[in-house]
């Protein structure tokens, strides 16, 4: 009787960011997946507020990401984070528990999938639907996934790169590797430490990646002043870093991501491979926005690549489309009802 009143919420549960989509309203929330926890295990802050605390907390408080490489690393804290985001996204007048759809990496194990479902149920969901990220990313990018035609989606977030070939509503070939934006940040931290004797934090590394990072060498280099702690004197210091240094620093990570895409091609039936050569590779996720990434993929695979519109929001927009047409997409969905 009350079926129509059940609110629906789509969640892109990422390693770096959590995005929430409410049908009819669009993306209502985009916050870092960071939680600040005190010594006695009390959750003090979640999301943007907690991210401001990273690297700035006293010993009694820990600000960290409970999601690691696309899956739950800290179950209890992820549950608290989900509960916070669900409450924040729903109207306070809504008396009904929501149906929630959550994205998971293509290579998720049944144990990891179960952990996501349990965490969402305990956070206050009525029904939980779990869908693999490449399917959602394809929907959000406007791909007609039920056509008898091959489409290649490469979703690159903070924790994982998911490459998949989709045809007739299902995944034909896929590979999910735990090498993405966060690994690039770590490589930048490492490079600055070795080349400049300067210690920088995650936030600064991410800033370097966004402002001057590139997948290919640039003719007109970009530069950036980077502040950190001198490893020898222990005092604050500023140094200048150039784009092409970053290209070299992150080369290994980029090669690993390209290898993931090539591995999927090797498993793809010839007819679908021909479709992909015609249609190109569609890139989604925050890390796909790294300068010249599509050009690097084209040079290494011979197939043109393009970044989808609003690449960061493709997966969460896909949850909205799937929630509004659950009966149509039920083949692609693994669900758990209470």
Q: What is the mean pLDDT of the chain?
A: 89
pLDDT band at 338 (very low <50, low <70, confident <90, very high): very low
pLDDT band at 6 (very low <50, low <70, confident <90, very high): confident
Is the distance from CB of 214 to CB of 291 less than 8 angstroms?
yes
Say how many C-beta atoms besides its own lie within 10 A of residue 278's C-beta: 10
Domains annotated on the chain, with CATH: 3-135+314-337 (3.30.420.40), 141-179+253-313 (3.30.420.40), 181-249 (3.90.640.10)
Is the distance from CB of 33 to CB of 122 less than 8 angstroms?
no
% of the chain surpassing 90 pLDDT: 55
- Looking at per-residue pLDDT, the higher value among 4 and 335 belongs to 4
* Interval 158-182 mean pLDDT: 92
Residue 337 in this model has a pLDDT that exceeds 70: no
pLDDT of residue 261: 96
pLDDT of residue 332: 60
pLDDT of residue 253: 96
pLDDT of residue 325: 80
- Looking at per-residue pLDDT, the higher value among 19 and 70 belongs to 19
Give pLDDT tens digits for 318-335: 999 888 887 776 666 654
pLDDT of residue 241: 96
Is the distance from CB of 306 to CB of 283 less than 8 angstroms?
yes
The contacts of residue 40 (CB under 8 Å, 6+ apart) are none
pLDDT of residue 329: 67
Give pLDDT tens digits for 73-131: 888 888 888 888 888 887 665 678 888 999 988 888 888 888 888 888 988 888 888 99
The total number of residues shown for the chain amounts to 338
Say how many C-beta atoms besides its own lie within 10 A of residue 223's C-beta: 12
pLDDT of residue 334: 54
Residue 221 in this model has a pLDDT that exceeds 50: yes
pLDDT band at 1 (very low <50, low <70, confident <90, very high): very low
pLDDT of residue 336: 47
pLDDT of residue 2: 43
* Interval 14-43 mean pLDDT: 88
Residue 214 in this model has a pLDDT that exceeds 90: yes
* Interval 183-193 mean pLDDT: 96
Residue 19, beta-bridge partner list: 12, 30
Give pLDDT tens digits for 130-163: 999 999 999 999 998 888 899 999 999 998 999 9
Q: pTM (2 decimals)?
A: 0.88
Write the CA distances from 142 to 17, 145, 146, 174, 321, integer angstroms: 22, 9, 12, 19, 10
Give pLDDT tens digits for 39-83: 888 888 888 888 888 777 788 888 888 888 777 888 888 888 888
Say how many C-beta atoms besides its own lie within 10 A of residue 40's C-beta: 6
């Amino acid at each position: 009787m009350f079926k129509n009143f059940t609110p629906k919420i789509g969640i892109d549960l990422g390693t770096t960011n959590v995005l929430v989509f409410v049908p009819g309203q669009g993306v209502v929330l985009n916050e870092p997946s960071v939680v600040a926890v005190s010594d006695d295990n009390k959750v003090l802050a979640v999301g943007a507020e907690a991210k401001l605390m990273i690297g700035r907390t006293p010993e009694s408080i820990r600000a960290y990401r409970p999601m690691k490489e696309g899956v739950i690393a800290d179950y209890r804290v992820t549950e608290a984070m989900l509960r916070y985001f669900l409450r924040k996204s729903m109207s306070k007048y809504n008396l009904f528990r929501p149906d929630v759809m959550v994205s998971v990496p293509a290579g998720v194990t049944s144990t990891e999938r179960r952990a996501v479902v349990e965490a969402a149920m305990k956070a206050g969901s009525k029904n939980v639907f779990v869908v693999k990220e490449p399917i959602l990313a394809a929907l959000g990018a406007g791909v007609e996934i039920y056509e008898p035609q091959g489409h290649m989606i490469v979703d690159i977030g903070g924790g994982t790169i998911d490459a998949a070939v989709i045809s007739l509503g299902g995944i034909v070939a896929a590979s999910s590797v735990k090498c993405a934006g966060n690994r690039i940040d770590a490589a930048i931290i490492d490079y600055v430490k070795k080349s400049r004797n300067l210690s920088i934090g995650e936030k600064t590394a991410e800033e370097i990646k966004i402002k001057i990072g590139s997948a290919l060498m640039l003719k007109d280099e970009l530069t950036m002043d980077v502040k950190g702690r001198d490893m020898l004197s222990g005092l604050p210091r500023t140094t200048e870093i150039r784009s092409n240094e970053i290209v070299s620093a992150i080369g290994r990570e980029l090669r690993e991501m390209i290898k993931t895409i090539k591995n999927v091609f090797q498993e793809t039936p010839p007819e679908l491979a021909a479709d992909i050569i015609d249609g190109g590779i569609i890139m989604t996720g925050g890390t796909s926005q790294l300068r010249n990434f599509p050009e690097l993929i084209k040079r290494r695979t011979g197939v043109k690549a393009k970044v989808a519109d609003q690449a960061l929001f493709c997966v969460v927009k896909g949850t909205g489309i799937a929630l509004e047409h659950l009966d149509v997409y039920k083949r692609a969905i693994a669900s758990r009802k209470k």
